[in-house]
Amino acid sequence: MTNIAVVGAGTMGTMHAASCRALPGATLAWVVDEDPERAASLAAPTTARATADLAEALADPALDAVILAVPTPSHRALTERAAAAGKHVFCEKPIALTLDDARAMTAACERAGVRFMVGHVVRFFPEYARIGALLDAGSVGEVGVVRASRVNAYPFVGRGWYSDFAWSGGPILDMMIHDLDTLRWYFGEIARVYARGLSYTPHRAAVDYALAIVRFANGVVAHVETSWAHSGFRTSIEIAGSGGIIRHASDETTSLRLEQTAPAAPVRGVNVPHSPLAESPYQTELRHFLDRIADGGPILTGGDEATRSLAAALAVLESVRTGRAIPFTDGWPMLESQGLVSDIPVTV
């Protein structure tokens, strides 16, 4: 049984606490939040103890791991504290706002001999995992072009810290990073990005949008869209190859379609709907973390993977800010700054 402390009792902390309650082998032992009432409310349906003092939870010798569901600027400090206390760390994405912080977090966990995982949950969504399996099987031949979109309504201040660009990095670090991470998982490292968007304009205070053209080292080109300019949340992806197209759209009844051209042999059901109903992807993600704690195997979204995906998102931000393409070398972008640049020049 793995005893877990959820740090942060907001939206994602509530989600992770529910996963802890649902998974055999996991026990929600602590809920930590700077607001004692909010911590107590989330802990109430369980035997978990609530506290506003992280040190109290980390001092518990029975505690095995922490889940950090707190604003991104706090990730490094809390990861280092948890690792120093000998606790395994699951941290929400993005791993950090700077590459220096991301690398320091990974190094701290390595030094302490604890496991470290970052919550790039899209890899654990059944639809996206199925797409990966179809690509591995060569179902659409040689991939040429990808279109991915992840859009939502603007998170105004009353809905939390996300709307503060200096804290969240806007939709590029909050949302587009999911697709950049997933596409890296599918196609390998990036060679170049070019992007346009609103993050560094006065419009950003009420609406934000970005479109990135991402060229991978293997030649695949992806158009990746993110937006805080829509009325609600939805995602889609279309992958076109020499032998067909894979499409997924979260707002369609049939959530995944495979269309193959000129198959080698007759097949039944050219359009293959795939909408698996299984455990929550957040439960699947947590189960992966617990299994890797138990068996010591490789973590799918470990510190280095999360740092490379952060680097890709920072490259998109820098391209938006500077108006120039950002080249990559060995999967790492050639950046002017190793972190979020939060100054907003008054331009249109």
Whether residue 87 is predicted with pLDDT greater than 60 in this model: the reply is yes
Q: Please report where in the chains the tokens 């670090």 appear, as a residue.
A: 173
Q: With bands split at pLDDT 50, 70 and 90, how would you rate the model's confidence at 268? A: very low
- Give the number of domains in the chain: 2
| Interacting residues of 200 by C-beta distance below 8 A, sequence separation 6+ | 320, 321, 344, 345, 347
Residues 222, 178: one domain?
yes
Is 106 part of a structural domain of the chain? yes
Residues 254, 288: one domain?
no
Residues 240, 290: one domain?
no
Is 170 part of a structural domain of the chain? yes
Is 340 part of a structural domain of the chain? no
**CB neighbourhood size of 284 (10 A):** 19
Is 181 part of a structural domain of the chain? yes
Residues 269, 288: one domain?
no
Residues 88, 137: one domain?
no
Are 34 and 68 in contact by the 8 Å Cβ rule? The answer is no
Own/partner contacts of 31-40, CB < 8 Å, gap of 24 or more, are 31/5, 31/6, 32/5, 32/6, 32/7, 32/8, 32/57, 33/7, 33/8, 33/9, 35/9, 38/9, 38/10, 39/9
Residues 180, 323: one domain?
yes
Q: What is the pLDDT of residue 269?
A: 32
pTM: 0.91
Residues 43, 150: one domain?
no
Residues 59, 135: one domain?
no
Residues 85, 151: one domain?
no
Residues 136, 255: one domain?
yes
Residues 136, 262: one domain?
yes
Q: Tell me the mean pLDDT in the region 194-216.
A: 93
Is 338 part of a structural domain of the chain? no
237, two tokens? 């992806």
Whether residue 290 is predicted with pLDDT greater than 90 in this model: the reply is yes
Q: What is the CATH number of the domain that holds 238?
A: 3.30.360.10
More confident residue, 74 or 204: 74
Highest mean pLDDT among 14-23, 160-169, 273-282: 14-23
3-state secondary structure of 4: strand
Whether residue 135 is predicted with pLDDT greater than 60 in this model: the reply is yes
Sheet with 26-32, side-by-side order of all strands = 49-51, 26-32, 2-7, 65-68, 88-92, 116-119
Q: What is the pLDDT of residue 50?
A: 98
Whether residue 284 is predicted with pLDDT greater than 90 in this model: the reply is yes
31 bridge partner residues: 6, 50
Whether residue 159 is predicted with pLDDT greater than 80 in this model: the reply is no
Whether residue 279 is predicted with pLDDT greater than 90 in this model: the reply is no
CA distance 122 to 105: 22
Is 342 part of a structural domain of the chain? no
Residues 115, 131: one domain?
no
Closest of 88, 96, 103 to residue 70, by C-alpha:
96
Whether residue 24 is predicted with pLDDT greater than 60 in this model: the reply is yes
Instruction: Tell me which residue range forms the domain holding 88.
Output: 2-122+283-299
**CB neighbourhood size of 101 (10 A):** 22
Q: Tell me the mean pLDDT in the region 288-295.
A: 97
Dmax (CA) of the chain: 64
Q: What is the CATH number of the domain that holds 102?
A: 3.40.50.720
Is 157 part of a structural domain of the chain? yes
Is 104 part of a structural domain of the chain? yes
